[in-house]
């Protein structure tokens, strides 16, 4: 004997053109009416008065109205009824009258009274996933729904649509169930879904035709240039997460945090290509060659980079190399250090009162620094975000002062932004290198210069208080 009470029988109802009665004229009734309209039902709303949206739909003849209090005759032409009033007795009367006529009834938020339940659902075009806990644990059903929302991206809708349109051809091509199953597996392991994800619908149709003819090219490798964000795995995009779960090989920088790497498929090969002198790191040319070789060997490669691949990440060069070899590519943006560090330090990068522009600047070495337009950088009413600048703070300060930036201009250095070890050092341009030295600031750290940087002290919300003085009385040193 099953330890569970009898389960609900799931079904998807075709309500197109069929009358469905909604009893109630408030917000709940409106939501139900809206879902029913989307399903093509003829919606009758029974209530003394209608809330504004329902009244509008009535005026536009999208719904019909039965005015007054519930009467069993309202059920006369209905296939289904939803009792959506806030009065339990009315809802009960509706369900009982429906029972007498063998019409299925749902009472909103009342599993015990409902003869059918409306499931939580995930919709991807014609593909619908319905979830029910039998009414006993709606929060759990919601949690499952959230997970499914993440798991099935929008390409499933396009896929379901394409398959539905070609149903006859698929059946004709693979008449037996076994053959169909195998053919289908082949279809899904090919490039079809990837093309749908990239919204390349024509190419997807072609890939589908190829697969149907049985002359699909052998599985091709691909490379995704993926931004891993600043370190906190919560700041990955859903797309990055999906690609990490599908990857055969992951090439990552040293900047990518372990927490992020842990989210990748367990058996994916991981290759660290840190580019620091003397640590056996790879040159950019070696990385490009490796990406091309792995993809040519049929691997699904994720090139995982700290922050965003196109912001000081040399993603452009990698994309050029891959395109030159006609390798299948995609680029997934990530949250770049300037955005992540500013957010986690309470520094708005633009502000109506202080800054109308933002410059992302690299201060990597002598050449970078000499090439910068310092008079443009020293102008007021903008925010500067210097990447890779820890070793060059003296030059940055000297150049900005020499080009007329006031010595009182606020700065903030955000070290390990968004991570547990985040530290913020904040002060005025005059004290920049000295304060950073006093606190032994190390990479990765981002320097923000501009009026907005002063907010690091007033708007701080994440991690430790900013360090604002060079002495031991500052909060971090006191705590250490």
Tokens coding 174:
């693979």
DSSP state of 333: -
Q: Which of residues 370-389 bind ligand SAH (CB under 6 A)?
A: 387-388
Question: How many Cα neighbours within 13 Å face the side chain of 122?
Answer: 18
> Which 3 state secondary structure label does DSSP give 105?
strand
The stretch among 169-177, 180-188, 426-434, 440-448 that binds ligand SAH (CB under 6 A) is 440-448
| C-alpha closest to that of 301 among 276, 327, 321 | 327
- Alpha-carbon distance 135 to 154, whole Å? 28
Active site residue 32: no
**Ordered strands of the 80-83 beta sheet:** 63-67, 42-47, 19-23, 80-83, 104-107
Q: Is 417 in the site for ligand SAH (CB under 6 A)?
A: yes
Q: Which stretch binds ligand SAH (CB under 6 A): 111-119, 159-167, 284-292, 309-317?
A: 309-317
H or E stretch including 431?
none
- Which span (272-280, 351-359, 413-421, 455-463) binds ligand SAH, by CB under 6 A? 413-421
Contacts of 53 (CB under 8 A, 6+ apart): 30
Residue with tokens 């290509």: 273
Confirm or reject binding of residue 431 to ligand SAH (CB under 6 A).
no
Q: Is 253 designated active site?
A: yes
What is the rounded distance in angstroms from the CA atom of residue 368 to the CA atom of residue 363? 6
255 binds ligand SAH (CB under 6 A): yes
Residues 196-235, one symbol each (x = binds ligand SAH by CB under 6 A, - = not), give: ----------------------------------xx----
Q: Which residue is nearest to ligand SAH (CB)?
A: 307
Q: Which residue has the tokens 């050449």?
A: 367
Stretch that binds ligand SAH, among 180-188, 324-332, 345-353, 416-424 (CB under 6 A): 416-424
Give the residue, chosen from 122, 249, 446, 453, that forms a contact with ligand SAH under the rule CB under 6 A: 446
Least CB distance from residue 259 to ligand SAH, whole Å?
Answer: 12
Residue 253 has a CB neighbour count (10 Å cut-off) of 20
How many CB atoms are closer than 10 A to CB 392? 21
Is there binding between residue 341 and ligand SAH (CB under 6 A)? Answer: yes
| Residues near ligand SAH (CB under 6 A), total | 24
Q: Would you state the structure tokens that stand for residue 146, as one six-digit string?
A: 């959230």
Is residue 307 a contact point for ligand SAH (CB under 6 A)?
yes
407, two tokens:
């010595």
Q: Write the CA distances from 319 to 144, 198, 224, 362, integer angstroms.
A: 37, 16, 9, 21
Catalytically annotated residue among 253, 299, 305, 308? 253
> Considering the rule CB under 6 A, would residue 445 count as an interface residue with ligand SAH?
yes
Residue in 361, 414, 438, 449 binding ligand SAH, rule: CB under 6 A: 414
18 DSSP assignment: -
- In the complex, least distance from residue 386 CB atom to ligand SAH, rounded to whole angstroms: 7
Q: Is 463 in the site for ligand SAH (CB under 6 A)?
A: no
427 lines the binding site for ligand SAH (CB under 6 A) = no
Choose between 221 and 444: whose C-beta lies nearer to ligand SAH: 444
Which residues does the annotation mark as catalytic?
A: 253, 275
Q: Which residues bind ligand SAH (CB under 6 A)?
A: 230-231, 255, 305-308, 311-313, 336-337, 341, 387-388, 414, 416-419, 443-446
């Amino acid at each position: 004997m099953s330890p569970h009470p009898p389960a609900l029988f799931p079904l998807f109802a075709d309500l197109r053109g069929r009358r469905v009665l909604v009893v109630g004229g408030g917000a709940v009734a409106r939501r139900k009416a809206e879902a029913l309209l989307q399903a093509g039902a003829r919606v009758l709303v029974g209530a003394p008065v209608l809330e504004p949206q329902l009244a509008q739909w009535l005026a536009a003849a999208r719904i019909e109205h039965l005015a007054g209090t519930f009467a069993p005759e309202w059920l006369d032409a209905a296939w289904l009824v939803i009792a959506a009033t806030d009065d339990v007795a009315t809802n009960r009367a509706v369900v009982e009258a429906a029972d007498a006529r063998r019409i299925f009834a749902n009472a909103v938020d009342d599993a015990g009274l409902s003869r059918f339940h409306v499931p939580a659902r995930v919709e991807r075009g014609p593909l619908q996933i319905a979830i029910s806990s039998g009414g006993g644990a709606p929060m759990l059903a919601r949690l499952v729904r959230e997970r499914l929302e993440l798991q099935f991206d929008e390409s499933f809708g396009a896929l379901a649509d394409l398959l539905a349109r070609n149903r006859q051809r698929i059946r004709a091509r693979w008449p037996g169930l076994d053959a169909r199953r195998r053919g289908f597996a082949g279809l899904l392991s090919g490039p079809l879904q990837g093309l749908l994800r990239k919204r390349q619908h024509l190419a997807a149709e072609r890939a589908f035709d190829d697969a149907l003819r049985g002359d699909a090219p052998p599985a091709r490798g691909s490379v995704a240039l993926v931004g891993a964000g600043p370190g906190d795995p919560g700041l990955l995009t859903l797309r990055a997460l999906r690609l990490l779960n599908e990857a055969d090989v992951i090439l990552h920088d040293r900047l990518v945090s372990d927490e992020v790497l842990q989210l990748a498929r367990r058996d994916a090969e991981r290759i660290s290509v840190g580019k620091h002198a003397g640590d056996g790191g790879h040159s950019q040319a070696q990385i490009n060659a490796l990406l091309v070789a792995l993809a040519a060997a049929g691997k699904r490669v994720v090139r995982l980079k700290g922050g965003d691949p196109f912001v000081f990440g040399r993603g452009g060069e990698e994309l050029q190399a891959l395109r030159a070899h006609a390798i299948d590519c995609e680029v997934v943006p990530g949250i770049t250090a300037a955005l992540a560090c500013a957010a986690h330090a309470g520094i708005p990068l633009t502000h109506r009162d202080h800054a109308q522009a933002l410059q992302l600047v690299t201060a990597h070495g002598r050449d970078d620094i000499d090439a910068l337009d310092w008079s443009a950088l020293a102008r007021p009413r903008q925010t500067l975000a210097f990447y890779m600048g820890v070793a060059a703070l003296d030059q940055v300060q000297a150049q900005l002062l020499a080009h007329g930036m006031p010595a009182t201009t606020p700065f903030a250095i955000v070290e390990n932004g968004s991570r547990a070890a985040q530290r913020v050092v904040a002060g005025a341009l005059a004290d920049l290198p000295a304060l950073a030295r006093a606190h032994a600031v190390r990479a990765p750290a981002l320097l923000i210069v501009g009026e907005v940087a002063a907010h690091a002290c007033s708007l701080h919300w994440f991690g430790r208080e900013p360090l604002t003085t060079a002495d031991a009385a500052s909060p971090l040193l006191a705590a250490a």
